[in-house]
Amino acid sequence: MAEKTACEGNFFDYLIDSFWASLPEQTADDLAKCKKDALSWVKDTVTHLVDEEIKWTEWHLDNARRMRREYQASQPSPPADSPLGAV
């Protein structure tokens, strides 16, 4: 597949490519590495926060189930001859 030329692509992509091309190669490589490292850190942080939130949601849900079971166990069962007991 042929690469896009400046005329085929987005003008802003061309502008950004021009910025990177204006930098010395080693500077561009170092800056790109720094940017990738920073973005990876953000991604890892967000992933960790989401994982923690999922863990805590499961924990709260388990506690809610336990509380429901305890509440239901503490309630007297209806007599067998009542309409509720005939189910």
In a domain, 46, yes or no: yes
Give the pLDDT confidence of 27-85 residue by residue, as tens digits: 999 999 999 999 999 999 999 999 999 999 999 999 999 999 999 999 987 776 766 65
In a domain, 86, yes or no: no
Q: What is the per-residue pLDDT for 68?
A: 95
The reported pTM is 0.60
Tally the domains of the chain.
Answer: 1
In a domain, 11, yes or no: no
| Residue range(s) defining the domain that contains residue 42 | 33-72
Helices vs. strands in the chain: H and E counts, helices first? 2, 0
In a domain, 37, yes or no: yes
In a domain, 84, yes or no: no
Q: What is the per-residue pLDDT for 76?
A: 85
Question: What is the average pLDDT across 1-11?
Answer: 65
Phi, psi of 7 (to 5 degrees): -70, -30
Residue with tokens 């949601």: 57
Q: What is the per-residue pLDDT for 7?
A: 57
CA distance linking residue 76 with residue 84, whole number of Å: 12
In a domain, 6, yes or no: no
* Backbone conformation region of residue 4, classed left if phi is above 0, alpha if psi is from -120 to 50, else beta: beta
